Structure 1
Amino acid sequence: MAERTVLLEHRGTPPVPARTGSLALGLLKTARPRQWVKNLLVTAAPAAAGQLFSRHALTQLALVFVLFTACAAAVYLINDARDAVADRAHPVKRHRPVAAGQVPVRVAYTVGGVLAVLGPALAAWLSSPVTAALLTAYLGMQLAYCVSLKHVLVVDLVVVTTGFLMRAMIGGLALGIPLSRWFLITTGFGALFMVSAKRYSEAVQMAGKAGATRALLTEYTTGYLRFVWQLAAGVSVLGYCLWALEGGGAPPTGVLPWRQLSMVAFILAVLRYAVFADRGTAGEPEDVVLRDRPLALIGLVWLAMYGLAVVNL
């Protein structure tokens, strides 16, 4: 059916193209299914502890994955509802379901609010109070980011990085697995490396086009963002190497010292990813990995070595 234009009452506000597409499909699209792959990080801590494949672990991790996805969807819905007017003036974001009128703003707020309440509540009932507390903290932090923190220098990088770290922590907390200091350091600074590399790439691509992307990028210099991703990459590599060498004085229990050998693959992966960061082409982390076969292969080799080190083969 042809689209019709509905003018808002507010003078100067871009018109809303009223769409007749499915409301359910619009809500699903607003929940960003492509971003759900990030929530697979909930398996990181159990995998690092070698406790991934028990029936209890898989059941709990599946539950945590669903609950984290619901909480992330709540944030996306509320964010898009809040930014609907601004998104209508953007050449790309105006096609988002809420901005385009496929999902009414009130419905986006309502569904987002329901998911934000249900996520932690179900976590407290079906998982643990600690899991519920972490989900609540994630929601509070992300909603604060949507409202104001995304406009604060450095804090915006910290909030996005912490969101990744929370994903990596929650699986271990749900299963009662102690989180290693090396795990937290490597994961946290690894996330900061990818987040700042993405920001650096955006800054490079928008050079001379102020206002074309996120406004805060005009406040950063490319030199500063380069410093951040280089620092984060270095600390992440250092943390991983300290973990790998922590038991270096003891004789290997497996066929080969996989723990130490995995350092080579990890460092190669960081160096390969840094190529795209340096070029200014490091977008979404999953896109970088999937489109570059050598990086994907290095990642698989590292995963195999890491797995062998965890199970002591």
Structure 2
Amino acid sequence: MRPKQWMKNVLLAVAPLAAGVILEPGVIVEVVFAIVAFCLTSSGGYILNDLLDIESDRVHPTKRFRPIPSGEFPARAAWPVAIALLVIPSAVAFIVGYPLFAAVLLTYVVVQVSYCIWLKHQPVIDIIVVASGFVLRAIAGAAVVGVPVTQWFLLVISSGSLFMVAGKRYSEKVRSAGSEELHTRRTLDLYSVGYLRFIWTVAATLTMLSYAMWAFDLNGGTSIGSIASIVPFGVALLLYAFDVERGEASAPEEVVLRDPKLFICAALWALLFLMSVLARLYGWELPTP
């Protein structure tokens, strides 16, 4: 079920936070419900992926120790668990009165199943599909609380997701250079290092520009906190790109935790962003020159 990957589902809180509704009555409960639903659903996708890759994982130097390929979690028990986790959360969401969120979650399920069965073997498409999972998380967070998303928000999330996924593939390619046994991704052998660098460079540029436009657009360009947050955001982006270039971003969920400078920049950005949201809610903002 890969609990470490559940960190990605914090993205569901971004839209409610940016919209300034996270502290309204009942919203936090809705966001937590959505995060739990995505944790369970994504876990079903991970189990399905391991079931379909069981033979190749058994000959992989590290993946062979995972519960399913190692036999610790028998396939006959894993199949019904995977199906239940993929189906039940979206069904419950629909029954309890969140049809739009259920639709987004079901879309995620269709995309994940398609990825596990076929799309992960299609070059370029595999990167886009993985990145779409982050975008769907952000949209789901907006859907569950009923807030709209702006074009800049979608651009930041989309380009940032593409940057992270392409950077992950780039790091995997660099680390596995000269040894195809270090990975089981068929598409990775089709990519060149230069092409993957091109993708994450373009995505990083678009992410920075989109975030800057979003920050200036918030509250009509008078939010000092959001504008100031561009600096730590940009520095964090450059630090992460440095890790990508060195081939150390094959596990994005661990990069921030092991890099103190990146962690500090991320924390500073989060603080400034939160301050800008609170200032917008309570009218604390001073006009920009």
Shorter-chain TM range is over 0.9
Give the match for residue 223 of structure 1: 194
2:83 counterpart residue number: 113
Amino acid at match of 2:31: L
| Paired AA for residue 114 in structure 1 | A
Aligned to 1:164: 134
Deviates more, 1:299-308 or 1:211-220: 211-220
Deviates more, 1:207-216 or 1:138-147: 207-216
Partner of 2:207: 236
Structure 1 residues 146-180: Cα deviation after superposition (integer angstroms, max 9, x where no partner): 11111101100001100011111211110000011
Higher alpha-carbon Rg: 1
Q: CA 1:110/1:249 → structure 2, altered by over 3 Å: closer, same or farther? A: closer
- Percent of paired sites with the same residue: 39
Whether 1:189 aligns to 2:159 is yes
d(CA) in 1 for partners of 2:114 and 2:272?
Answer: 39
Structure 2 residues without counterparts, runs of 5 or longer: 285-289
Give the equivalent residue in structure 2 for 1:27. Answer: none
| Aligned-pair CA distance for 1:57 | 0.8
Rounded Cα–Cα distance in structure 1 between residues aligned with 2:166 and 2:261: 22
1:55 match: secondary structure: coil
Q: Tell me by how many angstroms 1:195 deviates.
A: 0.8
Choose between structure 1 and 2: higher helix proportion.
2
Name segments (4+ residues, structure 1) moved above 4 Å: 247-250
CA shift digits 1:12-31 (9 cap, x unpaired)? xxxxxxxxxxxxxxxxxxx1
CA distance in 2, matches of 1:127, 1:112: 24
Contact 1:211 1:218 in 2 (8 A): no
Partner of 1:295: 262
The 5 A counterparts of 1:268-307 are: 268-307=235-274
CA contact (8 A) 1:127 1:174 kept: no
Q: Which has the higher contact order (CA 8 A, sep 6+)?
A: 2
Q: Which amino acid aligns with 1:59?
A: V
Root-mean-square deviation over aligned CA pairs: 1.5
Q: 2:96 aligns with which of 105, 126, 129?
A: 126
Q: Which runs of structure 2 are paired with 1:26-175 in the superposition (5 Å)?
A: 31-175=1-145
CA positional deviation for 1:138: 0.6
CA displacement at 1:101 relative to structure 2: 1.6
Distance 2:49 2:217 in 1: 43
Any conservation in 2 of the 1:164–1:191 contact (CA below 8 Å)?
A: yes
Instruction: Kindly provide the amino acid, as one letter, of the partner of residue 229 in structure 1.
Output: W
On the 8 A contact 2:163/2:200 being kept in 1, the answer is: yes
How much does 1:247 deviate?
5.6
| Deviation per residue, 1:113-169 (Å, 9 max, x gap) | 112221110110224111111111111111111111111011000011000111112
In the alignment, what sits opposite 1:7? none
Specify the alignment match of 1:245 in structure 2: 216
Residues 198 and 283 in structure 1, CA contact (< 8 A), matched pair in contact too: yes
Aligned length: 279
Q: TM (normalized to structure 1)?
A: 0.85
